[in-house]
Amino acid sequence: MTDLVSPLAAPGFQNAHTFLLSAPEHELEAHGVIRTLPRGAADSLSDRVSEFFQTASDGPALLVGAVPFASSDEDYLFQPARIGRLLGAKSGGDAASGSGRWMLRACPSAADYAESVARCVAALTDPAAATQVTKAVLSRSLELQSDSAIPVGQVINRLRRDSSVTVFRTPLPAKAATALVGATPELLLSKKAELAVSYPLAGSARRSSDPSADRQAARDLLASEKDQREHRITREMIFDTLGPYSIEITAPEGTTIRSTATMHHLGTRIVARLKDRATPVADLLSLLHPTPAVCGLPRREAADLISRLEGYDRGFYAGAVGWIDDQQDGEWYVSIRCAEISERRARFFAGAGIVPGSDPVKETEETSAKFTAMLTAFGIDEQGRPLQEFAA
Ligand SMILES: C=C(O[C@@H]1C=C(C(=O)O)C=C[C@H]1O)C(=O)O
């Protein structure tokens, strides 16, 4: 893939309504805003989108943006003014990351996170629980503060070195200066006419630079009863959700290893032929999201447990990022392996699926492994130290 020299890194990042979804085989880049979709919760998304496209307007027949983790929180989608790269834009703010001063703070600390995992396992195995939660995904975050502007364009270009992920950037509503930037390996849903595809991931192992240890890590993951259980919960929920809308729903390759540059995952590509090709992608998105890959099962009880144990608002982390067109087709990725970035601050998130039998130390290490992709793009490790490759 060619390097992107684009407005992504241009001065004026703060105000830019820039949207990017960059998969190895296709890419969508959009700039500017014509209209913002009236904001609302997941259960009204489909109606708001239909109404939006009924009022004809100039510009691309497309909405791009993000939905948050919590179905009751408001999404943020907009009709862009232009599709494609802005010609002639110069890349700026390109100071090598790692050359400025960075402060990284774990929030919560790794030890506190491990403690929450232990409490989560206790809740999942509590015989007195009114409703038994079988899986809950717990996350933690790292807060970075820099003494100079974060070179977003450079971060994005580095993320794009991994051809197995979809790199994204989408503006966030809370503060005009904030964007969600990440490199997700997980397709939540793509829908084109009668074809719907979802590619859930659940069950993870850190990759190794030693090829034989790396192959062994993948084999161990495939053989892990705990990881297969974690995965099955997600896979079955997606079959159950899309099934009633489908003539046929299959997993042609079964559950296999899906690897990024830093992680192995258990993944299942699920392909559905819909009964009605006019089924709006927004309907399916609202039903599917959040899947047990990022939330848990049963959904509401798992979400309650997560908010009790995490103690922070996930915002748009573990939400979804993508687009919807006027045919009600679209493509949505799970917004993980990402950071909220404002001018000099970034907040990274990583989570791990917890089931009975999960080990707090291993789950904490799994979140560390999941931070690696983003931190490497910033040129730092989990302690905020510059990586060798980027050190002056
Ligand atoms: C929640 C995250 O990742 C999710 C959790 C996974 C797991 O628990 O094994 C695997 C892939 C993702 O669906 C994250 O990266 O933050």
CATH number of the structural domain spanning residue 292: 3.60.120.10
Mean pLDDT, residues 267-273 = 98
| Atom number, ligand 1, closest to the C-alpha of residue 370 | 15
Structural domain contains residue 364: yes
Q: Give the C-alpha separation, 53 to 75, whole Å.
A: 17
Q: Residues with Cβ < 8 Å from 13, sequence gap 6 or more?
A: 93, 149, 152, 177, 179, 343
In a domain, 325, yes or no: yes
Q: Is 186 in the pocket of ligand 1 (CB under 6 A)?
A: yes
Q: Which residue has the tokens 């997600």?
A: 234
Catalytically annotated residue among 25, 90, 115, 135: 135
pLDDT tens per residue, range 328-358: 999 999 999 999 999 899 999 999 999 999 9
Q: Is residue 268 part of a domain?
A: yes
pLDDT band for position 389 (cuts 50, 70, 90): low
Ligand 1 in contact with 66 (CB < 6 A)?
A: no
Q: Is residue 96 part of a domain?
A: no
Structure tokens at 323: 């687009």
- Using an 8 Å Cβ cutoff, are 117 and 138 in contact? yes
pLDDT at 1: 30
Q: Which two tokens stand for residue 264?
A: 């192995």
* Cα of 82 from ligand 1 centre, angstroms: 33
Map tokens 């790292």 to a residue.
142
CA gap 237, 335 in Å, rounded: 19
Among protein residues, the one with the nearest Cα to ligand 1's atom 1 is 351
Tell me whether residue 328 is in a domain: yes
In a domain, 232, yes or no: yes
- Indicate the pTM of the whole model: 0.93
The tokens for 24 are 């190895």
Q: How many domains does the chain have?
A: 1
pLDDT at 10 over 50: no
Closest CA to 254 of 232, 277, 276: 232
Identify whether 54 is part of a domain.
yes
| Residue 328: CA count within 13 A, CB half-sphere | 20
Q: What are phi and psi of 215, to 5 degrees?
A: -65, -40
Mean pLDDT in residue range 34-41: 96
Q: Which residues of 3-15 are buried (b: 16+ CB within 10 A; e: fewer)?
A: ebbbbbbbeebee
User: Is 370 one of the annotated active-site residues of the chain?
Assistant: no
Contact 384, 375 (CB under 8 A): no
The verdict on ipTM greater than 0.90 is yes
What the block records as the tokens of 298 is 């049963």
Q: How far apart are CA 203 and CA 355, in angstroms?
A: 11
Asked if residue 373 lies in contact with residue 337, where contact means CB atoms within 8 angstroms, the answer is: yes
SS3 85: coil
**Does 134 map to a domain?**
yes
Structure confidence by residue, pLDDT tens digits, 71-104: 999 999 999 999 986 543 434 334 344 456 889 9
Our answer to whether residue 301 is catalytic in this structure is: no
Is 142's C-beta closer than 6 angstroms to any atom of ligand 1?
no
- Cβ(370) to ligand 1 under 6 A? yes
Q: Which domain holds residue 47?
A: 7-84+106-381
